[in-house]
């Protein structure tokens, strides 16, 4: 199973119209672009995908559009996390019916941040999800947004009840390594994926070969090149590309929120990707000009005329 979840998986942004409706054309444009740049799979309806800004029915619709566009050519991990177990399972079953390779869920948010749940409740939540579908269940560890801090000890318990993979967005290389060690002791086939391409090179060197990379929405060619250099054991080139990734991530955050910066860069590349849903905002004209100028300095926009921004 692990091999299926190696390589670069963009956590796909969701396209909206200016009025805030799901923009199907934009979603399809983004998927086509990412596939043309040879990404290895997709993670959908997650943080970059504005999941918690959508209703359950909208999340189902976005998943349907993406599965229809991909047509089984690449594996899709569908994030199905909700505040309740029941709603999470509803989304998980829908994702399985569509053909998702796996489902993923954050810890049940909101109340978990208020210490309402002890470990036994978290374990039961994930055990119930895993029992509801035949495809692998992942835990999406994102303590900043879910309000829940996962430990390696708890992860081992989750693996014991059927969790088969994880996306770790802690941002800590040490924690990522601890999670991988704890999980693979219980199940050697556990699929541990980094939630940050900023850690791709060191993660790869300790055996973690899958990355769910937000940067890959905007610059899939850069992140795929980094992965290929690592696969070739070209440490000099991979080091150069890893440094370039780190520089790009800072530029993408110019508007204060890195996911929103993806829309600006895609538009600079001439891709109709729609826009964000409020209360998100895209980078303003000044920020967008800065992003364009700095990306050009880094050689990241070669060959793209792009749309005028600002």
CA separation for the pair 231, 229 (Å, rounded): 5
pLDDT at 310 (0 to 100): 34
Domain boundaries, the chain: 2-232
pLDDT at 304: 63
Paired residues of 167 in beta bridges: 140, 193
**Per-residue model confidence (pLDDT) at position 115:** 82
Output b/e per residue, 125-149; b: 16+ Cβ within 10 A: bbbbbbebbebbbbbbbbbebbbbe
Cα distance between residue 31 and residue 13, in whole Å: 10
pLDDT value of residue 308: 38
Quick one: pLDDT at residue 307? 43
pLDDT at 277: 98
What integer pLDDT is reported at residue 12 of this predicted model? 98
CATH number of 2-232: 3.20.20.70
Binned average pLDDT, 10 residues per bin, the chain of 310 residues: 87 98 98 98 98 98 98 98 97 98 95 87 97 98 89 98 97 97 98 97 97 98 98 98 97 94 97 98 96 96 55
Give the 3-state DSSP-derived string for the chain, with helices as H, strands as E and coil as C.
CHHHHCEEECECCCCECCCCCECHHHHHHHHHHHHHCCCCCEEECCCCCCHHHCCHHHHHHHHHHHHHHHCCCCCEEEECCCCCHHHHHHHHHHHHHHCCCEEEECCCCCHHHHCCCCHHHHHHHHHHHHHHCCCCEEEEECHHHHCCCCCHHHHHHHHHCCEEEEEECCCCHHHHHHHHHHHHHHCCCCEEEECCHHHHHHHHHCCCCEEECCHHHHCHHHHHHHHHHHHCCCHHHHHHHHHHHHHHHHHHCCCCCHHHHHHHHHHHCCCCCCECCCCCCCCCHHHHHHHHHHHHHCCCCCCCCCCCCC
Angle, helices 173-186 vs 152-160, to 10°: value is 30
10's CB contacts (< 8 A; 6+ apart) are 34, 39, 42, 43, 48, 212, 213, 214, 216, 217, 220
- Asked if residue 265 lies in contact with residue 291, where contact means CB atoms within 8 angstroms, the answer is yes
Which residue, among 62, 59, 108, 57, has the nearest Cα to 82 in the 3D structure? 108
Q: How many residues does the chain have?
A: 310
CB 103 within 8 A of CB 138: yes
Q: In 3D, which of 75, 63, 77 has the Cα closest to residue 35? A: 75
Biggest CA pair distance of the chain? 54
């Amino acid at each position: 199973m692990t091999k299926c979840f190696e390589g670069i998986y963009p956590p796909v942004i969701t396209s909206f119209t200016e009025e805030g409706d799901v923009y199907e054309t934009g979603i399809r444009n983004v998927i086509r672009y990412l596939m043309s740049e040879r990404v290895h799979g997709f993670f959908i309806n997650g943080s970059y995908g504005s999941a918690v800004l959508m209703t359950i029915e909208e999340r189902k619709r976005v998943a349907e559009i993406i599965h229809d566009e991909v047509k089984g050519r690449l594996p899709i991990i569908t994030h199905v996390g909700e505040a309740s177990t029941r709603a999470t399972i509803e989304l998980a079953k829908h994702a399985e019916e569509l053909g998702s390779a796996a489902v993923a869920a954050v810890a049940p948010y909101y109340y978990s941040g208020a210490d309402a749940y002890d470990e036994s409740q978290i374990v039961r939540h994930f055990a119930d999800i895993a029992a509801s579908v035949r495809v692998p269940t992942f835990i999406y560890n994102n303590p900043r947004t879910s309000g829940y801090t996962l430990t390696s000890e708890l992860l081992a318990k989750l693996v014991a009840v059927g969790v088969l993979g994880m996306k770790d967005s802690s941002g800590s290389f040490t924690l990522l390594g601890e999670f991988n060690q704890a999980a693979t002791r219980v199940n050697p086939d556990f699929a541990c994926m980094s939630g940050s391409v900023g850690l791709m090179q060191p993660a790869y060197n300790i055996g973690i070969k899958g990355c769910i990379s937000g940067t890959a929405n905007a610059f899939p060619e850069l992140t795929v090149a980094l992965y290929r250099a690592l696969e070739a054991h070209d440490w000099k080139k991979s080091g150069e590309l890893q440094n370039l990734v780190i520089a790009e991530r800072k530029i993408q955050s110019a508007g204060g929120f890195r996911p929103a910066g993806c829309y600006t860069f895609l538009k600079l590349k001439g891709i109709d990707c729609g826009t964000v849903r409020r209360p998100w905002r895209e980078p303003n004209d000044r920020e967008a000009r800065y992003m364009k100028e700095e990306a050009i300095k880094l050689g990241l926009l070669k060959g793209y005329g792009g749309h005028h921004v600002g």
